[in-house]
Every structure is written in C-alpha cells, then in structure tokens.
Chains A and B, each alone.
Chain A
C-alpha cells in the first residue's frame, strides 16, 4: 500500500495523536484506556480514506472556475461526487470474488470521468433515493409488476446508461419544466427530479469537457472549458492526463509500476504556467487555494466533535467520582476542541470573505460554537457541571448532524444572494439570532438532564434539579435577550434594505413565535404557574419552536423570502426526534404528578416511590 498521504490529513492525525499522548499520562485507568482506544480507532477510521490514495497534491491545487468562484480542483471533484454519488469518496462494488476493492478519492473519479467517460456508463454511480421518482422512472416494480428494470427497492445507485436510456426520463423532466414554467412550488418529488436533472447535467458536463472551466480568458471573466482548449494548452492538458493515468493504482494482479509523482507535479505546473500566461491577473489565487486545500483535508469540525465527545464523556465520568482529574481533563478537551472549532470557523471565514452563517450547514456549526462558548462562561462562573456537559453534547450532536447529512446540510462554499451581500447587517442580525439559538439549545439539554433527575426521584436528586433549573433559567434569559435583539435587528436590516420593518415572512415570524414561547415561560414562572418541573419541561418543549424556526421553516414550510437556504430531506428524522422528546416530557410529567399525588395522600415525606422502581419502568 502506498502511504504517501496529503499534508493536511497527516497533520490532522498527528494532531489527534498528540492530544491523546498528552491525555494518556493522566488517563491511566482501565476506563480511560477503553475510551481512548475506541476514540483512537475511530479517528483512524476517519482518516483511513486518506491513507489509500496516491499523491495527487499538484492536481488537487489546480484552479478551476465553477459555481461563481475560483476553487481548487479538489473541491470541485468532491462537490461533484457528492452531488452525483452522494459521498466524497467512491466505494467500488465488491469484485467478482466478493472481495472489497479499495476506495477511491473524488479527484480520481472525476478525472476518469473526463478521460474515459465510457467506462463509467455501466457503473452504478448516480444516486437516486426518492422512491416516488424511482417508481415514476419504473426503476422499481410498480403495483402490477410491469416494466420493472430492477425490483430492488433498496437500490440507490444507478448507472448513467440505464438512466439516460430510460424512456420515461424525458417525460419526467418535461413535467418539471412545466412546473417551473408555471412557477409553482416544487414538492419533494419534483425537488428529487430537479436533483436528478442537476446530477445528469453535471455528469454530462464533466464528461463532455464543458465543466469545469480551467483557463482564464485574455479578457472578460468567464474562463475557458476543457473542450475550448486548443494548441499548446490542449497539448499540455493531454500531458497532464497521461501523467495522471500513470499515477492510478493498478487493478489487482498487475505489476505495480513505480509511482512517478514528480512527473504529474511537473505536468500540472507546466499546464498552470501556460494558463497563467494567458491572463496573470485572473490566475492569481495560489494563497486561497492553499488555504482551501488545507481546510478540505483538515476536517477541523470533525476533529472538534470527536474531542468534544471525549470531553463530554470525561465530564460525565467526573460526576460519578470524587477524583478531580477527569473533570480537568474534560475541560482541557473542550478547550482544545473549541480552539480547533474556532480555527476551522476562521478558515471558512477567510475563504468566503464573510462570517460563514449564510446557510443551514454554516449556522449549525456556529450554533455548536455558541453553545460551547456560553457553556464555558457559565461553567466558569457558576461552577455547575451540567453546563459544560450540556454544551459539549449540544455541540457534538449538531456537528455530527452537520458532518453526516451532506445532502441536507450542504457544506460547499456558495456565493451569496445579492441582498445578503451587505456584510455588516448579515453579520449582526444572523449572528445574534443564531447565537440565541445556541443559548436556548443549552437550556434544552439542561432541561432534558433535569427531567431525567426528576424521573429518578425527587428528594434524592432535588439539589441537582434545583441547580439545573437555575442554569436553564439563566440560559433562557440570555437566549431571550439575544433572540429579541436579533429579531429587532432583522427588522432594522429589512427596513434598511427594502423599507419594511416587518413583513410576516415565515422565518422571522417563527423566530417571533419561539420568542413568544419563551416569554410565556418566563412570565409563567414569575406568576408561579410553573416551578422546577414546569421550567425544565418548558425549556425542552420551547426548543421545538426554535427547531421549527431554524430548520422547519426551510424544510417543512418551504416558502417565503428566506428561501435561499431551502432544500429537502431529514424531515422525518427531525419530526421523530421532536415527537420522542415530547413523549418523554409527557411521560415524566405523568410520573411526577403521580408521585406528587401519592405524596399528598400519603403519610409523610417517605411516601415518594423508590427511585429504583421508577428506573425499571
């Protein structure tokens, strides 16, 4: 196995190793070793994909124009593979002997689409998930069992050939065109059709050399595509492709030729020198490209959540022991992860040239940051361990979601809609609103903890419950002030940009509804309508309003001025999560009430049911 790894992956791994080595001195217990071992394995799994690919570093850095900006070829390849195949790494189907074949990086795949498109015609490379669409294309059996191409309902990947030759495809696309013509809202089925159209369009564009654009024009801003190249540029690109093919790992059995990384690097630099000569001022992104490659290979947010997870485990462990070191180690993990997180956020800000909070993915990352930020401050000043634990859990959950749902949360760097290009207002309004969500999610997690301890039985845990309630109350106060300020700032921005302070746009309206929910909760507490249980349950239930404002408006309501970030998917999972937590709140309410009644009718303070009994339910 060739083990020439990219710089970023190598440094990222060393990073983790160093952190672990530092910790392992203190973590010299059995539990510690098990936890550590598990996490180490996991982090190797994360970076394993890096260890199998040959060195395409030079090719990765090739500047291309795509999606309204200049990006490294690496980013283009990953984004293309993600759109078409649904992942940034290609896993070939097992060979005829049933043996797994090595994974391939996006850059390898996309290069071979360009070089030898026909071999891909029969590979299952295009992801189609929507069952309705598969049925419309007769890709799955219909009710009568007619016209089936493949009866496998679970199959998600299709070959370009079978999709392109599908006789129903033009009809389906025509329906989409008609919908667009009538400017109707696209339901999930038509969103899936639209995705398929984009997938096939991009695949065809790449294989015909129309995408991406690789050489700057002598005048103007639109770069030339591969298909447009002529003369020496074309010759140099052919050189480059030859060098690339020599680099490809051979199929099993063939003798491995000595890799000649140097040749590919040379070929790429010859090509870029020629491209630069065309228009030196337009071909001037070396620094940005280096930063973006570093960002691509580092996966800072992935590293951050792994360390946050470790921190959360340590802090949870610290609660059940008298020893002090697990708590301190937990703090250290959270701090380290926070630094990595902030670093990643900074890189992204540098690349986009703005605070990266303009789509769902970016705000999820930012909310995770805010939750940890508030949790650290509260923890440091209030000495309440549940704060840091809750913050770390909120961060881990958000960042795992951001990391693992690329189809829903698009992590690619996208250009902004014109109205959002006023950086000042975007910054102030969006940062304030989303950071308030962070505080409210902190309260949500605290609420879940508090409910758990109420469930465990009150007299035994009442000190904890009181402490947690106090913390949740504090987090809600911060959240409410920031949310109110953020909504008002949104009004100011709207007034400034299009002269309307308030337009009943669903996004702003749901932020207001969430605010009203929390205001009702705070007033109810003032009035004595709710006490500890009510406060905790309220902070859990009201968090559903925030999820609706943040996620639901885009993905459930799907209408309105803020439609820039709209997509589809994941609705069933989010609804299920909210449903589960509502069931949990109701159940705890029932148990709690039953115990209170028992305590009232019973003969003294001892009549509360035993915690053990409750636990078994």
Chain B
C-alpha cells in the first residue's frame, strides 16, 4: 500500500515511505539480520550444551533478542516484496521462498500460543486423562477436615526468570501467612533417615543384602501403625510391620517386627512353597550372635540373618525405633537429569522446601494447608467435553535386539472411547479429536520389565501452515537455483532478485 502511494515514477527523490521500505528491504539489512540470527542461535546451542534445552529456550531462543531479530526478519521479508511490487514472472522464486518463510513463522506462532505440547505417563493396566505440560504452577490448597480441599492461590510465575527477592514473596491469602523465600533452579534432592525424638514416629531399619551376585544397602522406614512398609528387592521382600502383617503367601520375605525393648527386632522368614527354588532352611552352626538359619528369631543392629535363598544374607546395620525422613536440597551450578527446581516456602514460623512435582503440608490449629509446585495438568475429558474420556494402557511391548537388553522397538496398546486395541508405536502415532499421541519412551524396573509407558501428546493448530511454508520455501529455492542456472548460461550477472 505504501509502495503504491510512494511510486514516484523515477523522477527526483523517492518518497519517505519508499525510502523506509528501501532501507528495510535492502540486501545489506538482510545480511545483518541473517548473521544476527545465526549468532544468537549459536549462542543458544552453547547455553544448551552448558545447561540444558529448557534453560537455552528461556534465556536465548525465546529471549527479547531472538524475537527482535525474528521481527526484523519478518519486516524485511515483507518490505522486500512490497519494494519489488508489481511482481514479474522472474520474481516468482524469491517471492515464493520469502512468503514460505513468513508462512512458516506464522505457523510457529500459532503453535506456540494456541498449541498444547505435553506428555502422559501411565502404568500398564492404568488409565489416564491428563496431559502434563512443562509449565510449573505454584498452588496452595487448604482443608479443615483433611477430606475436601479448596484452592486458595495459584500462580504460574516463572521463578527462573523472576526469582523471589531476598525478602521473599508474600502470598496474599487471608488468615494465613505464606511466603516464598527462595528458588533453586537445579536442586539435588537428598533424602536421609534420621533418628527422631518423637515417640509417635515410625521405626526404621538399615540393612544390607549380600550374596555372590547381590550387594545392596537399603533403608526401610515404617509407615506408622496403620500399614506395613514393604520393600520389594526382586529376590526377596523386606517387610517392616507393627505385627499385623498378613502374608498373601507365595513370596520370599523377611518380616521384621520391632520388639518391646526398643533395641531388637523379631524376624520371620517366609519362603515360597516351591520345592525346586526353596530348599529347607539349612541349620548351620555359627558363632556369636549370628542367628543360624532359623525361621524365626530376634536380631539387633550388627546381626546377620541367613536366608535359604542362594546364600543370601541380611545384615541389620542400624535399627531406630523412632525415625523420620529428612529431605534437604543441595544447590547445583548445572542441571543434571536428577536435579529439579525447588522452592522454599515459609508458613508462620516453619520453612520447608518443595521440589517440582511434589507437595508439602503445613498445619495450623484450624486447618491443613497443602502447597504444591507441579507442572500443569490438562484434563482431556474437559477439553473434549466428554466426562467419560480416558485412555487405558492395555499392554506395553518391548522388542529387543537379539541377545541384548537394547530396545529395538516398543509400543503401547491402548483403548480410547470408541476404539479398542489401538497400537501406538515409534513413528506411528494415534490421532484422536485433534490431538496426536506419540510413543515417546517407557519406564522399566530393575529387572528390565517395562512398568509404564510415556506418550508425548500434542495439539498443533500451526501444523498446516508450517507444512505449507516448508513447501513454498523448498519450491522457491529450487526455482531460484533453476533460474540462476538459466541466467548463468546467458551470462546475465547481477539479477536484482
């Protein structure tokens, strides 16, 4: 439009509008913009190598610098096309390529602001309807009866970009004083079992399991009077109970029950009723306090229990009648796969750390408060307006390369409303109601059995535009090359396109 007004037919100075267009459309400008984009992007890859993709995206790829240069690129691309108006046939390649870039960028903007890109994790046999997106939310709930919770406060603040000031952030909730004191972007969670003075706390045992093939040291922490703590270690289960453990049978287990004296544990060895794998308990003479292959007995810290399972022995390393778990966070300079962001929250006089995807509880005289710091979940049944909607993981299959544990392929067999036995495999996603479900990865237990499937889930309204733009770019640049070749043959150097 501006160009149409400013056309001055080649006499005298061109109009101001035309001159601005000329400046923006100049090839020098283009070279500067392209080099600028290249440098910023290269810087991003260095940040990515140093930290991770998320930090690189936050600090570089979605920074003001990147957006400025991308904006300039759009302006320049538009200006150069306006400048060449009216287009002739020879302009086709460059117009196509440049429109292609604009269309591609339009598609990307649509994806970024209206699309959903998340993941879904579910165990075999489980159902799910939630898509988790990488947008941490800080939420506080309260409850009076510990049954129903009401949401008091929620914030999607990006603490990496806007960390809390030294004095903390006051959370505006009436009747309670909450403060976010600190934020660590790369916190390493450290969990320790410590002895407790509180008589109400559960017991804890640290033990070592050992034979020719196995050597592991573990803690087992009781869960109070209501339930039994069970640690399934593959060859055997270790169970810490207050005395009420009911074995379902058919398991190899050592059941530990604290004795009244507060220093020793009663133990009982349960053996699977399978004559091949469970020979009778051997009775071996041992010295000192070692217990000799009995089915029942009493041990203290330092004692050894011999089991009938392939020479496996259990050594009790520590026993505390009252213990609790203490979670601390260590600040790391660089992220690893084990670090996660963590927030320090203060309620009245108590301070607690809450790591991403976890929650902590605070108690006041009247109410219990739950502080959650977790990635946002999108409820697909609400998105689809179908209260019945969920996906069930019926089966998960892993194909291995022969003679190894290396996965060659894996796939989820799921059912969605109206469709049974849908296979989602690598490169073969499921499309449903505008969403696409991709097989991303899986979780397995220590024995290498798959336990859960991880799907990548997205809705991408920009997809059509991105593909269209791509097509135009390839078409345009191919034509450009073709035209150049023609021009080259005619020795017509310096085409203005």
Chain A residues with a Cβ under 8 A of chain B: 65-70, 182-185, 213, 221-223, 415-416, 418-419, 421-422, 425, 470, 474, 477-478, 480-481, 484-485, 488, 491-492, 495-506, 509-510, 512-513, 516-517, 519-520, 523-524, 526-529, 553, 556-560
Partner of B403, one of A183, A222, A528, A557: A222
Known: A68-B408, A415-B406, A484-B474. 11 other contacts (CB 8 A): A68-B401, A421-B409, A474-B488, A481-B480, A484-B477, A498-B440, A498-B456, A499-B438, A499-B460, A502-B108, A553-B45
Partner of A516, one of B37, B407, B440: B37
Q: B31, A524: Cβ atoms under 8 Å? A: yes
Chain B residue contacts of A527, Cβ below 8 A: 26-28, 30-31
Chain A residue contacts of B28, Cβ below 8 A: 527, 529
CB distance from A428 to the nearest CB of B (A): 12
Q: A497, B402: Cβ atoms under 8 Å? A: no
How many interface residues does chain B have, given as a range? 35 or more
Q: A418-B409, A491-B470 are in contact. Are A183 and B336 (CB under 8 A)?
A: yes
Q: A504, B53: Cβ atoms under 8 Å? A: yes
Chain A residue, CB-CB nearest to B427: A422
B379 in contact (CB, < 8 A): no
Q: A183-B337, A499-B436, A499-B460 are in contact. Are A513 and B41 (CB under 8 A)?
A: yes
Chain B residue contacts of A480, Cβ below 8 A: 477
Q: Which 6 A-B pairs have the closest CB atoms?
A: A68-B401, A527-B27, A183-B337, A516-B38, A557-B49, A422-B427
Partner of B470, one of A416, A425, A481, A492: A492
Q: A67-B404, A488-B470, A523-B30 are in contact. Are A422 and B49 (CB under 8 A)?
A: no
Q: B456, A481: Cβ atoms under 8 Å? A: no
Chain A residue contacts of B159, Cβ below 8 A: none
CB distance from A386 to the nearest CB of B (A): 17
Chain A residue contacts of B410, Cβ below 8 A: 418
B163 in contact (CB, < 8 A): no
Q: A477-B484, A495-B463, A516-B35 are in contact. Are A501 and B111 (CB under 8 A)?
A: yes
CB distance from A251 to the nearest CB of B (A): 37
B360 in contact (CB, < 8 A): no
Chain B residue contacts of A557, Cβ below 8 A: 45-46, 48-49
Q: A418, B407: Cβ atoms under 8 Å? A: yes
Q: When chains A and B are docked, how far (Å) is the Cα of A470 from the Cα of B426?
A: 45
Q: A504, B61: Cβ atoms under 8 Å? A: yes
Chain B residue contacts of A419, Cβ below 8 A: 426-427
Can you report 18 residue pairs joining A to B where beta carbons are below 8 Å apart? A66-B403, A67-B401, A68-B402, A69-B402, A221-B403, A491-B470, A495-B466, A498-B438, A499-B457, A499-B458, A504-B57, A506-B45, A506-B49, A509-B48, A517-B38, A520-B35, A557-B48, A557-B49
CB distance from A71 to the nearest CB of B (A): 11
Q: When chains A and B are docked, how far (Å) is the Cα of A558 from the Cα of B403?
A: 29
CB distance from B325 to the nearest CB of A (A): 20
Q: A513-B41, A527-B27 are in contact. Are A499 and B407 (CB under 8 A)?
A: no
Q: A499-B429, A516-B35 are in contact. Are A68 and B41 (CB under 8 A)?
A: no
Encoded as 1 (CB less than 8 Å from any A CB) or 0, chain B from 443 to 471 comes to 00000000000001110100100110010
Chain A residue contacts of B68, Cβ below 8 A: none
Chain A residue contacts of B108, Cβ below 8 A: 501-502
Chain A residue contacts of B30, Cβ below 8 A: 523, 527
B56 in contact (CB, < 8 A): yes
Q: When chains A and B are docked, how far (Å) is the Cα of A392 from the Cα of B46?
A: 34
Q: When chains A and B are docked, how far (Å) is the Cα of A69 from the Cα of B436?
A: 34
Q: When chains A and B are docked, how far (Å) is the Cα of A420 from the Cα of B218?
A: 39
Partner of B34, one of A223, A492, A516: A516
Encoded as 1 (CB less than 8 Å from any A CB) or 0, chain B from 471 to 486 comes to 0011001101100110
Q: A498-B440, A557-B45 are in contact. Are A415 and B409 (CB under 8 A)?
A: no
Q: A183-B337, A497-B427, A498-B438 are in contact. Are A504 and B404 (CB under 8 A)?
A: no
Q: When chains A and B are docked, how far (Å) is the Cα of A66 from the Cα of B49?
A: 33
Partner of A481, one of B460, B466, B467, B478: B478
Chain A residue contacts of B497, Cβ below 8 A: 526
Q: B49, A415: Cβ atoms under 8 Å? A: no
Partner of B338, one of A183, A503, A520: A183
Q: When chains A and B are docked, how far (Å) is the Cα of A558 from the Cα of B50?
A: 10
B117 in contact (CB, < 8 A): yes
Q: When chains A and B are docked, how far (Å) is the Cα of A425 from the Cα of B31?
A: 33
CB distance from A139 to the nearest CB of B (A): 28
Q: B408, A415: Cβ atoms under 8 Å? A: yes
Chain A residue contacts of B458, Cβ below 8 A: 499-500
Chain A residue contacts of B485, Cβ below 8 A: 474
Q: A498-B456, A523-B34 are in contact. Are A481 and B477 (CB under 8 A)?
A: yes
Chain B residue contacts of A519, Cβ below 8 A: 34
CB distance from B254 to the nearest CB of A (A): 26
Chain A residue contacts of B56, Cβ below 8 A: 504
B293 in contact (CB, < 8 A): no
Name B260-283 residues within 8 Å CB distance of A: none
Q: A513, B38: Cβ atoms under 8 Å? A: yes
B185 in contact (CB, < 8 A): no
Q: A497, B438: Cβ atoms under 8 Å? A: yes
Q: When chains A and B are docked, how far (Å) is the Cα of A288 from the Cα of B52?
A: 43
Q: A67-B404, A504-B57, A513-B41 are in contact. Are A484 and B117 (CB under 8 A)?
A: no
Q: When chains A and B are docked, how far (Å) is the Cα of A569 from the Cα of B237?
A: 46
Q: When chains A and B are docked, how far (Å) is the Cα of A477 from the Cα of B483?
A: 11
Q: A499-B458, A519-B34, A523-B27 are in contact. Are A221 and B466 (CB under 8 A)?
A: no
B136 in contact (CB, < 8 A): no
Partner of A559, one of B44, B49, B456: B49
Name B372-419 residues within 8 Å CB distance of A: 400-404, 406-410
Chain B residue contacts of A222, Cβ below 8 A: 402-403
Q: When chains A and B are docked, how far (Å) is the Cα of A497 from the Cα of B44?
A: 24
CB distance from B427 to the nearest CB of A (A): 4
Q: A65, B470: Cβ atoms under 8 Å? A: no
B152 in contact (CB, < 8 A): no
Chain B residue contacts of A66, Cβ below 8 A: 403
Q: When chains A and B are docked, how far (Å) is the Cα of A566 from the Cα of B377?
A: 34
Partner of A65, one of B46, B52, B111, B402: B402
Q: When chains A and B are docked, how far (Å) is the Cα of A66 from the Cα of B429?
A: 32
B42 in contact (CB, < 8 A): yes
Q: A492, B467: Cβ atoms under 8 Å? A: yes
Chain A residue, CB-CB nearest to B35: A520
Q: B403, A213: Cβ atoms under 8 Å? A: yes
Q: When chains A and B are docked, how far (Å) is the Cα of A223 from the Cα of B403?
A: 6
Q: When chains A and B are docked, how far (Å) is the Cα of A319 from the Cα of B145?
A: 93
Q: B42, A513: Cβ atoms under 8 Å? A: yes
Q: A69-B401, A415-B406, A488-B470 are in contact. Are A422 and B426 (CB under 8 A)?
A: yes
Q: When chains A and B are docked, how far (Å) is the Cα of A109 from the Cα of B456?
A: 48
Partner of B117, one of A69, A425, A491, A499: A499
Chain A residue contacts of B42, Cβ below 8 A: 510, 513
CB distance from A415 to the nearest CB of B (A): 5
Name B126-167 residues within 8 Å CB distance of A: none
Partner of A418, one of B44, B408, B473: B408
Chain B residue contacts of A501, Cβ below 8 A: 108, 111, 460, 463, 466
Q: B53, A560: Cβ atoms under 8 Å? A: yes
Q: B473, A484: Cβ atoms under 8 Å? A: yes
Partner of B427, one of A69, A221, A425: A425
Chain B residue, CB-CB nearest to A502: B108
Q: A182-B336, A499-B438 are in contact. Are A504 and B31 (CB under 8 A)?
A: no
CB distance from B443 to the nearest CB of A (A): 14
Name B47-70 residues within 8 Å CB distance of A: 48-49, 52-53, 56-57, 61
Chain A residue contacts of B31, Cβ below 8 A: 520, 523-524, 527, 529
Q: When chains A and B are docked, how far (Å) is the Cα of A558 from the Cα of B49?
A: 7
Chain A residue contacts of B495, Cβ below 8 A: 526
Q: A68, B406: Cβ atoms under 8 Å? A: yes
CB distance from A544 to the nearest CB of B (A): 12
Q: When chains A and B are docked, how far (Å) is the Cα of A502 from the Cα of B458?
A: 13
Encoded as 1 (CB less than 8 Å from any A CB) or 0, chain B from 327 to 360 comes to 0000000001110000000000000000000000
